[in-house]
Amino acid sequence: MLMPEKTTPIQQKNNIPRINESPAVFMDSSMINDSRLLEVAAKLAARERLDAADGMALMTTKDLLGLGAMANAVRRSLRGKKAYYVLNRHVNYSNVCVNHCVFCAYWRAPQQEGAFCLSPDEAARQALEEPDLDLSELHIVGGCHPDLPFDYYLELLRALKKARPKATLKAFTSVEVAHFAEISGKSPEQILVELKEAGLGSMPGGGAEVFAPRVRRELCPRKADAKTWLEIAGMAHNLGIPTNATMLYGHIETPEERVDHILKLRDQQDISGGFTAFIPLAFHPGNTGLKARFCGTTGMDDLRVMAASRLLLDNFPHIKAYWVMLGPKLAQVALNFGADDLDGTIVEERITHMAGAQTAPGLTENALRGMIEAGGFEPVRRDSCYNSLEDVE
Ligand code: V47
Ligand code: SF4
């Protein structure tokens, strides 16, 4: 299969490079012991696109070091020794949600103990809690609240933009946008246009979970389906709004379903081109409806998903090792397994910590730079769209 040759408008605007224009991949095949991986390595060297069978070889191999060497060769051909991080803060405006996903420990019913909903002013005050932190990004997500009017979300963006004018507002997943359309009677395009006018700069990649209908039926039947998620991401890209993409792994999904999910994202990226990063999300079972069946992902699987993603997503510029879910130590190692970004300072994280994550609530810039340097990489402070801020005063 050949890769499309045309660069989409959002790729040009955001300076998103195409991977098939990147330098050739030099791979030391003496590192590879799995014969199936050797076949994939030969395809990569010939710049052939990988298919689902290749994906299965990557997603099921026990040859972690061979797989890592392949992903690292691609990562180094794209980014050299650069490893990105961002000064960001999470703002969770509400945990009230009508979707009740089985894997989620974050949601509460409207009157339930622990339910919260910040006013736009309260959210803005929260965004200003660390006045000395020169934030480049606010990561803003909540649940699908049954009663908040769409105007609330516009007010929320305006208040946050006023509080932090220099920060990109990375807000609302495709699932939230689908919900806003449903409660307001507006089309998802109209919702996106109005959010953009109110200050939306980019969108996070949550809500994708695993696209397979079998998984969604069992774990998140009320949530927007795969087609809707992908369509809204495409609409955002066409409106010039870059977005991320995720996959929640380590629960009931099969290796085939993981590969299918990743290839669906690759297909969408071929069409609309506005995905900036892919983030594999390691499932945390604590306090969720799956806690009796799962005990968390293994380091082997975390690194395998990271490396397989880098190799399959030939049109995604960045792969993020989200330290909150992987832990800082494994996230640092993941920089050698295809990842080129650690996310950021975060300050306060709720979704994973309510599901039992033991990581710190946030990290300092020094800690992030130290992790990157100690791993043998060059830290690059970035904005939400991966522009370097290293030389900016
Ligand atoms: O959509 C829910 C997942 C997502 C659990 O775009 C869980 O830069 C693990 O999308 N264990 C939200 N994960 C987080 C997210 C994200 C994070 C960091 C960066 C970006 C980005 C996006 O977390 C949800 C869902 O897929 N999630 N419950 C859990 N128990
Ligand atoms: Fe709601 Fe998101 Fe949690 Fe699902 S994952 S219950 S949509 S907050």
Digit-coded pLDDT (tens) for 357-386: 999 999 999 999 999 999 999 999 999 999
Q: Atom 5 of ligand 2 has which residue's CA nearest to it?
A: 104
Residue closest to 25 by CA, chosen among 97, 67, 74, 78: 74
What residue ranges define each of the domains in the chain, with the CATH number in brackets?
Answer: 9-79 (no CATH), 83-381 (3.20.20.70)
Atom of ligand 1 at shortest distance to CA of 246?
10
Cβ of residue 143 lying under 6 Å from some atom of ligand 2: yes
Q: Atom 10 of ligand 1 has which residue's CA nearest to it?
A: 206
Span of 74-83, 247-256, 384-393 with lowest mean pLDDT: 384-393
pTM of structure = 0.96
State how far the Cα of 77 lies from the Cα of 32, in Å rounded to an integer: 18
State how far the Cα of 207 lies from the Cα of 200, in Å rounded to an integer: 18
Task: pLDDT band for 10, please (50, 70, 90 cuts).
Answer: confident
What is the predicted pLDDT for the residue at 1?
43
CA of 104 to the centre of ligand 2 (A): 6
CA of 208 to the centre of ligand 2 (A): 11
What is the predicted pLDDT for the residue at 2?
41
Computed over every residue of the chain, the mean pLDDT equals: 94
Please say if the pLDDT value at position 15 is more than 60. Answer: no
Residue closest to 172 by CA, chosen among 136, 211, 209, 200: 200
The string of DSSP codes covering 170-193 is: EE--HHHHHHHHHHH---HHHHHH
State how far the Cα of 99 lies from the Cα of 95, in Å rounded to an integer: 11
Is the ipTM higher than 0.95? The answer is yes
The verdict on whether residue 101 carries a ligand-binding annotation is: yes
